Amino acid sequence: MRIALIGCMVLAREVSYALYQSKNTIQCSWLEQGLHNTPEALRQRLQEEIDRIESRQQTLPAEQKADAIVLAYGLCSNGVVGLRSRTLPLVVPRCDDCISLFLGSRRRYLDLFHSNNGIYWFTKGWVENSFIPSKENYDALYAHYVKEYGEENAAYLMEVETSFIQNYENAFFIQSPIYDDSTEAQKVRETAGQFGWDFREVAGDLGYISDLVNGIWDEERFLVCPPNKTIVADYQGKKIAEGD
């Protein structure tokens, strides 16, 4: 099977590992981490990439054409809702976000979510790709605010931007089964200490990502949206469905 995969950079190491082992031929495009913060922008970027892949298909010889477009994304703030393809099925994991993908299943994520108060999740990918809460990052942000808005306003802005710290209770670091992430884990452990959060390492599981790239797309865990149908939100537990 040939797959065109669009993935978030936060999952690049995990997806790359899975495709390196896969029997499938996989063409990857990566989008930068953080687009979920503006779901409309995420949707637009994904749709552009889908359109680009499909246009390119027309120029390829039959044996090189893809069989499906696969998104290494969850709902990601509903950024995948509204997407559609014209010629290829669109495969999307039925989960809230990448945390389920790192943990191996949506069920495992939800179990942890519901049995612990206020979890802030970390992985090596998150640490290296995004602004994560840490004393170091906040010191830099404060310096920037002082320069832009003066000391008094800077202190207030930091108060507002960091107020969530007291709402959270746990820093969970998803430990990779494939690479060394001890430096990042140590960094997060220190941050947790500074913020008064409990630190815990949780074992990562690449099963979900592996099934995504290997075409093991059961109805429960994956939506396979046919061409010319739109991905719609499903609030009844399936997360996403096909619509007109």
Partner 1 sequence: MALVNEISTFLQQGRAPKVKELVAQALEEGVEPKIILEEGLLDGMNVIGEKFKNNEVFVPEVLIAARAMNAGLEILKPRLAQSGVEDKGVAVIGTIKGDLHDIGKNLVKMMMEGKGIKVIDLGVDVAPQTFVDKAIENNADLICCSALLTTTMGEMKNVVETAKAANIRDKVKIMVGGAPVTQSFCDMIGADCYTPDATSAADAALAFCTNK
Q: Which residues make up the interface to partner 1 (CB under 8 A)?
A: 36-39, 75, 77-78, 81, 96-97, 110, 113, 118, 145, 148-149, 152-153, 156-157, 160-161, 163-164, 167-168, 232-233, 235, 239
Tokens of 230: 């739109």
Q: Considering the complex, what minimum distance in angstroms separates the CB of residue 176 from partner 1?
A: 23
163-197 b/e (C-beta count within 10 Å ≥ 16 → b):
eebeebebbbbbbbeeeebeebbebbbebbeebeb
Q: Considering the complex, what minimum distance in angstroms separates the CB of residue 150 from partner 1?
A: 8
Q: Considering the complex, what minimum distance in angstroms separates the CB of residue 77 from partner 1?
A: 4
Q: Considering the complex, what minimum distance in angstroms separates the CB of residue 220 from partner 1?
A: 17
The residue (of 161 and 190) whose beta carbon lies closer to partner 1 is 161
Q: Considering the complex, what minimum distance in angstroms separates the CB of residue 236 from partner 1?
A: 9
Q: Considering the complex, what minimum distance in angstroms separates the CB of residue 143 from partner 1?
A: 14
- Residue 216 to residue 221: CA distance in whole angstroms: 9
The residue (of 140 and 216) whose beta carbon lies closer to partner 1 is 140
- Residue 35 to residue 139: CA distance in whole angstroms: 24
The residue (of 17 and 222) whose beta carbon lies closer to partner 1 is 222
Instruction: Name the β-bridge partners of 230.
Output: 84, 243
Neighbour tally for 201: CB within 10 Å? 16
- Of the candidates 116, 153, 128, 140, the one whose C-alpha atom is nearest the C-alpha of residue 34 is 128
Tokens of 205: 């599981």
Dihedral, CA atoms, 171, 176, 181, 182, nearest 10 degrees?
Answer: 70
The residue (of 59 and 163) whose beta carbon lies closer to partner 1 is 163
The residue (of 12 and 233) whose beta carbon lies closer to partner 1 is 233
Sequence-separated contacts (24+) of 188-193 with Cβ below 8 Å: 188/122, 188/127, 188/132, 190/134, 190/135, 191/132, 191/133, 191/134, 191/135
The residue (of 149 and 179) whose beta carbon lies closer to partner 1 is 149
